[in-house]
Amino acid sequence: MHLIREYLFVFRSSSIRMDLTLIKWDSCCSIHLRLQKLSSWEMEKHDVVEIDQCKNQCRPRGSEALPVGIVDNTSSFEMKPLWELPKRKRPHTIDIKAKATNLFAMAVGIKQKDLVNIMVKKFVESNFMVMLFHYDGIVDEWKDFEWNDRVIHVAAINQGKWWFAKRFLHPDIVAEYDYIFLWDEDLGVENFHPDKYVSIIKHEDLEISQPALDTKKSEVHHQITARGRRSTVHRRTYKPANGGEGCDKSSTAPPCTGWIEMMAPVFSRPAWRCVWYMIQGDRTKKVGVVDSEYIIHYNRPTLGGIDKTTVTSNEKDHRVDVRRLSYQELDVFRKRWKKAVEDDKCWVDPYP
């Protein structure tokens, strides 16, 4: 980071106080223009005063006591050797195991280990960093899988993936990853290829996306998520009104366009930074469903759910309670959003 210097251009106008434009140049903030009230300075016309503003560098809060070069703003989940330094690569050699540039994260329970194993193997083989959130608190029983030591494990009893994501996937921590896959555990991926998917969303410039659902094997709740066989990607869906609200070319709002389901979302790095702060991005152009890479949604009972075929009279299915709480939390969020908009007089909706 370069030293920040401010150039103050002062024009004499007898002894009248003036509003002068202060142009600040620095390496971490773009050029900023602001007006500053100045007393009647007795300076010759076009005199330039150079003021050293090292103390006002644009730097992370809390790092003021450190030299600039020692400050590292971001991190990653790359695991480091505990007792030896990483080996240096020899000149002209090829690093077979390249550094992961994408992250796959999923909330998991041991009851779904069959599906989780298939998904994790596929993403590990595609050189993704993988992070598992154990909502049942069971971690040791995953040690039988050969990939176990290559993934990050986080455990907290009865928490959902968004709870984990908010606390363990801060944008600065995942800043080294191009895309963040934040999926449910009850998905089938035999027709899904992570590398191809990333290539498609890069080419299509999708900031938020999901793989389409195989309509023959999946439980499809929203038409826009269904796979289209004639396209690589679709950004909208069409359906007749039938007495209600339909979807056509003029539709501009979800669920007709700019909408995905939260079972298998994929976020670009900039999109995740917005989502983490609960701020929506462009809702139509850069949100889409990838048809050529599709998955199966088995809709298995997870996160405390029970298998109805094996349930006993003493067991209770807490899925109803979980669903009820999710609606309550959504209502609280909507009220928070409304109040925040009313209180912030400077905020302007970028997507009215």
Q: Where would I find the H helices in 69-145? A: 113-125
Q: Where would I find the H helices in 34-87? A: none
Rounded average pLDDT over 116-139: 96
Please state whether beta strands 102-108 and 179-183 pair in parallel, antiparallel, or not at all (unpaired).
parallel
Q: What is the pLDDT of residue 292?
A: 82
Q: How far apart are CA 100 and CA 123, in angstroms?
A: 11
Q: What is the pLDDT of residue 90?
A: 54
**CATH code of the domain in which 284 resides:** 3.90.550.10
Q: What is the pLDDT of residue 1?
A: 38
Q: What is the pLDDT of residue 97?
A: 55
Are residues 129 and 238 both part of a single domain? yes
Q: How far apart are CA 153 and CA 120, in angstroms?
A: 12
Rounded average pLDDT over 302-327: 63
Are residues 172 and 41 both part of a single domain? no
Residue 146 lies in domain: 102-297
Q: What is the SS3 assignment for 84?
A: coil
Q: How far apart are CA 299 and CA 305, in angstroms?
A: 11
Question: Which tokens belong to 197?
Answer: 């998917």
Rounded average pLDDT over 235-255: 81
Asked whether residue 79 is domain-assigned, the answer is no
pLDDT of 36 > 70? The answer is no
Asked whether residue 214 is domain-assigned, the answer is yes
186 or 220, greater pLDDT = 186
Measure the CA angle with vertex 296, ends 292 and 300; round to 5°: 160
Please tell me what DSSP assigns to residue 303.
S
Q: How many domains does the chain have?
A: 2
Are residues 161 and 218 both part of a single domain? yes
Asked whether residue 263 is domain-assigned, the answer is yes
Are residues 150 and 288 both part of a single domain? yes
Are residues 50 and 191 both part of a single domain? no
Please tell me what DSSP assigns to residue 242.
T
**Element holding 331 (H helix, E strand):** helix 319-343
Q: What is the pLDDT of residue 324?
A: 80
Are residues 138 and 29 both part of a single domain? no
What is the gyration radius of the CA atoms in the chain, in angstroms?
Answer: 26
pLDDT of 8 > 90? The answer is no
Residues 264 and 183: beta-carbon distance below 8 Å: yes
pLDDT of 76 > 50? The answer is yes
Picking from 30-39, 41-50, 226-235, which range would have the lowest pLDDT averaged per residue? 30-39
Asked whether residue 304 is domain-assigned, the answer is no
Q: What is the pLDDT of residue 19?
A: 35
Please state whether beta strands 287-297 and 233-234 pair in parallel, antiparallel, or not at all (unpaired).
antiparallel
Are residues 53 and 106 both part of a single domain? no
Are residues 142 and 39 both part of a single domain? no
Confidence of residue 328 (pLDDT cuts 50, 70, 90): confident
Q: Is 105 exposed, middle or buried (0-12, 13-18, 19+ CB in 10 A)?
A: buried
pLDDT of 172 > 80? The answer is yes
Share of the chain above pLDDT 70, in %: 68
Q: How far apart are CA 110 and CA 121, in angstroms?
A: 16
Please count the other Cβ atoms lying within 10 Å of the Cβ belonging to residue 310. Answer: 7
Are residues 128 and 274 both part of a single domain? yes
What are the strands, taking DSSP E only, across the chain? 5-9, 18-25, 32-38, 48-52, 102-108, 129-134, 152-155, 179-183, 187-188, 208-213, 233-234, 266-268, 287-297
Q: What is the SS3 assignment for 182?
A: strand
Q: What is the pLDDT of residue 6?
A: 35
Are residues 45 and 109 both part of a single domain? no
Asked whether residue 242 is domain-assigned, the answer is yes
Asked whether residue 197 is domain-assigned, the answer is yes
Please tell me what DSSP assigns to residue 40.
-
Give the highest mean pLDDT range of 20-34, 68-82, 219-233: 219-233
Confidence of residue 214 (pLDDT cuts 50, 70, 90): very high
Q: What is the pLDDT of residue 189?
A: 95
Q: How far apart are CA 24 and CA 29, in angstroms?
A: 9
pLDDT of 109 > 80? The answer is yes
Residues 299 and 283: beta-carbon distance below 8 Å: no
Q: Which residue has the tokens 């300076």?
A: 43
Q: How far apart are CA 127 and CA 295, in angstroms?
A: 20
Q: How far apart are CA 190 and CA 142, in angstroms?
A: 22
Q: How far apart are CA 261 and CA 43, in angstroms?
A: 63
